[in-house]
């Protein structure tokens, strides 16, 4: 196998993200030093340890590839690894097992490989463009939920966005009939759309390290996603929407976040009657 191929990177990524997960679990539940990067924005020593480990491993194996990580930044390049060493750090810091390592490989401006690993539950999500998405090696698909009244979505929040903008959209989501939750890990929130545990994920601003792997998972699992990288958002971040197909048009209308075209998608009925089977 060509050691510089996508296939070799995919194989390497599977073992790398498991090893990174072990580092994260060594810090989970331990007494630890927590710093505050900004309002409601946490950093533990494990975030830094894990990112340094991933960065060193990638530099040794693929010295030509660029690296961009949440904690140490990086530089752009045609082939670039985009890394969140712990997504859901606030959960991690409070001993809540809802966090993950998220790694995407982007080539020529397109995400080609994405992996999200929750080491506390031993759940590994993996996708390669054109090859489908898996959870612990089993193929996954988005839900076929037909209408907002039976849809449960996650609407992510951060202090990077004015509260008024968040509240306006939250109000519209609830008014339309969606159940909107926030669980504190955007990457896992997207992975849960891919495997049908959730019907959608929206956030007004997300960074690329939080969302690229998850967006590829949803796309490969049959869902609809926003054209994140087309908007030049790798460094600065941007709005994120990912959705089960049948409620995607209404979710896009309510949040005002556009979706990339996808021809094989059929919308749901929009409304369902109470007592109707779903």
Task: Note the residues at the interface with ligand IPD (CB under 6 A).
Answer: 41, 70, 84, 87-90, 156-158, 184-186, 203, 206, 210
User: Do 81 and 51 meet the contact criterion of CB atoms below 8 Å apart?
Assistant: no
Q: Would you say 46 or 185 has its CB closer to ligand IPD?
A: 185
Q: At its nearest, how many Å lie between ligand IPD and the CB of residue 4? A: 30
Q: Which does 65 bind (CB under 5 to 8 A by kind): Ca ion, ligand IPD, none?
A: none
Sign of CA dihedral 85, 124, 198, 27: negative
Tell me: does residue 203 bind Ca ion (CB under 5 A).
Answer: no
Candidates 54-62, 74-82, 192-200, 210-218 — which segment interacts with Ca ion by CB under 5 A? 210-218
Q: Which does 195 bind (CB under 5 to 8 A by kind): ligand IPD, Ca ion, none?
A: none
Q: Would you say 89 or 255 has its CB closer to Ca ion?
A: 89
User: Do 88 and 101 meet the contact criterion of CB atoms below 8 Å apart?
Assistant: no
User: Do 147 and 247 meet the contact criterion of CB atoms below 8 Å apart?
Assistant: yes
With CB under 5 A as the contact rule, the residue among 84, 112, 195, 203 that binds Ca ion is: 84
Q: Which does 71 bind (CB under 5 to 8 A by kind): Ca ion, ligand IPD, none?
A: none
Question: Can you give the chain as a three-state secondary structure string?
Answer: CCCCCHHHHHHHHHHHHHHHHHHHHHHCCCCCCEEEEECCEEEEHHHHHHHHHHHHHHHHHCCCCEEEECCCEECCCCEEEEEEEEECHHHHHCCCCCCEEEEEEEECCEEEEEEEEECCCCEEEEEECCCCEEECCEECCCCCCCCHHHCEEEEECCCCCCHHHHHHHHHHHHHHCCEEECCCCHHHHHHHHHCCCCCEEEEEEECHHHHHHHHHHHHHCCCEECCCHHHCCCCCCEEEEEECHHHHHHHHHHHCCCCCCCCCCCCCCCCCCCCCCC
Q: At its nearest, how many Å lie between ligand IPD and the CB of residue 201? A: 9
With CB under 5 A as the contact rule, the residue among 65, 71, 87, 199 that binds Ca ion is: 87
Q: At its nearest, how many Å lie between ligand IPD and the CB of residue 177? A: 23
Q: Would you say 114 or 184 has its CB closer to ligand IPD?
A: 184
Q: At its nearest, how many Å lie between ligand IPD and the CB of residue 271? A: 30
| C-alpha to C-alpha distance for 251 and 148, rounded to whole angstroms | 8
Q: Which does 157 bind (CB under 5 to 8 A by kind): Ca ion, ligand IPD, none?
A: ligand IPD
Tell me: does residue 210 bind Ca ion (CB under 5 A).
Answer: yes
Q: Which does 185 bind (CB under 5 to 8 A by kind): ligand IPD, Ca ion, none?
A: ligand IPD
Q: Which does 198 bind (CB under 5 to 8 A by kind): ligand IPD, Ca ion, none?
A: none
Q: Which does 156 bind (CB under 5 to 8 A by kind): ligand IPD, Ca ion, none?
A: ligand IPD
Positions touching Ca ion (CB under 5 A) are 84, 87, 210
């Amino acid at each position: 196998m060509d050691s510089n191929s996508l296939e070799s990177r995919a194989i390497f990524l599977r073992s790398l993200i498991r090893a990174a997960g072990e580092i994260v679990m060594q810090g989970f539940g331990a007494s630890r030093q927590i710093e505050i990067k900004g309002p409601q924005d946490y950093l533990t020593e494990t975030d830094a340890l894990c990112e340094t480990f991933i960065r060193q491993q990638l530099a040794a194996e693929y010295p030509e590839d660029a690296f961009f990580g949440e904690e140490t930044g990086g530089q752009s390049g045609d082939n670039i690894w985009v890394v969140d060493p712990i997504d859901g750090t606030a959960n991690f810091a409070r001993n809540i097992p809802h966090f993950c390592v998220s790694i995407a490989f982007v080539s020529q401006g397109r995400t080609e490989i994405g992996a999200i690993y929750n080491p506390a539950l031993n759940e590994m999500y993996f996708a390669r463009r054109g090859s489908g998405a898996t959870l612990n090696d089993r193929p996954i698909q988005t839900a076929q939920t037909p209408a907002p009244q039976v849809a449960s979505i996650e609407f992510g929040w951060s202090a990077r966005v004015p509260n008024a903008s968040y509240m306006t959209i939250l109000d519209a989501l609830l008014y339309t009939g969606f159940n909107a939750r926030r669980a504190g890990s955007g990457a896992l929130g997207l992975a849960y759309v891919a495997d049908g545990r959730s019907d959608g994920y929206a956030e007004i601003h997300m960074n690329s390290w939080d969302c690229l792997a998850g967006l590829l998972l949803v796309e490969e699992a049959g869902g609809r996603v926003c054209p994140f990288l087309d908007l030049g958002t790798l460094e600065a971040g941007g709005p994120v929407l990912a959705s089960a197909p049948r409620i995607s048009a209404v979710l896009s209308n309510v949040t005002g976040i556009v979706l990339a075209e996808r021809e094989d998608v059929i919308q749901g009925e929009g409304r369902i009657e109470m007592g109707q089977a779903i």
